[in-house]
Amino acid sequence: MLELPFALRPGEDAPLYEQLYRRLAGQIQAGELAAGSRLPGKRSLAEALGVSVNTVDTAYQMLAAEGYLESRPRSGFFVQEIPPGVWAGAAGPPAPGPAEPDSPFTPPAERGASSAGGEAAGPAIGPPVRFDLSTSGVDTQLFPFRTWGRIQKELLYSSPELLGHGHRQGDENLRAEIARYLSGYRGVRCSPEQVVVGAGLEYLLGLLARLLAGSTAAVENPGYARTRIILGNNGIPCHLLDIDSGGLPVTALAASGAQLAYVTPSHQFPTGITMPAGRRAELLAWARGGPGRYILEDDYDSEFRYDIRPLPSLQGMAGPEGPVVYLTTFSKSLAPSIRVACMVLPWPLLERYHAMYGVYSSTVSRFEQQTLYRFMEQGHFTRHLARLRKAYRLRMEGLCTALEEAFGPGRLRLQGRHSGLHLLLSLCGDQPQATEQQMARAARRAGVRLAGLSSYYMARPELCPPRTVVVGYAGLPPEGLVPLARALARAWLG
Q: Which is nearer to its own copies, 330 or 407 (CB)?
A: 330
Q: Which is nearer to its own copies, 1 or 124 (CB)?
A: 124
The minimum distance between CB 455 and its own copies, in angstroms, equals: 13
Neighbours of 3 (CB within 10 A): 9
427's enclosing H/E stretch is strand 422-427
Contact 34, 80 (CB under 8 A): no
The minimum distance between CB 1 and its own copies, in angstroms, equals: 25
The minimum distance between CB 283 and its own copies, in angstroms, equals: 24
Alpha carbon distance 472, 126 (integer Å): 21
Please tell me the number of Cα atoms within 13 Å of 386 on its side-chain side. 5
The minimum distance between CB 76 and its own copies, in angstroms, equals: 19
Q: Which is nearer to its own copies, 305 or 366 (CB)?
A: 366
Would you call 40 helix, strand, or coil by DSSP?
coil
DSSP classification of residue 125 = -
Helices (H), 215-306: 225-233, 250-256, 277-288
The minimum distance between CB 203 and its own copies, in angstroms, equals: 6
Helices (H), 16-140: 16-29, 42-49, 53-65
Identify any residues that bridge with 341 across adjacent strands, giving them in sequence order. Answer: 198, 329
Q: Which is nearer to its own copies, 254 or 356 (CB)?
A: 356
Q: Which is nearer to its own copies, 240 or 356 (CB)?
A: 356
Q: Which is nearer to its own copies, 245 or 337 (CB)?
A: 337
Would you call 303 helix, strand, or coil by DSSP?
coil
Query: Is the four-CA dihedral 461, 463, 464, 465 of positive or negative sign?
Result: positive
Would you call 380 helix, strand, or coil by DSSP?
helix
The minimum distance between CB 478 and its own copies, in angstroms, equals: 16
The minimum distance between CB 378 and its own copies, in angstroms, equals: 18
Neighbours of 95 (CB within 10 A): 14
Q: Which is nearer to its own copies, 251 or 288 (CB)?
A: 288
The minimum distance between CB 388 and its own copies, in angstroms, equals: 13
Alpha carbon distance 490, 108 (integer Å): 6
Q: Which is nearer to its own copies, 342 or 427 (CB)?
A: 342
Neighbours of 86 (CB within 10 A): 22
Helices then strands, counting H and E runs in the chain, come out as 15, 15
482: CB partners within 8 A, 6+ apart: 402, 406
The minimum distance between CB 394 and its own copies, in angstroms, equals: 20
219's enclosing H/E stretch is strand 217-221
Q: Which is nearer to its own copies, 51 or 488 (CB)?
A: 51
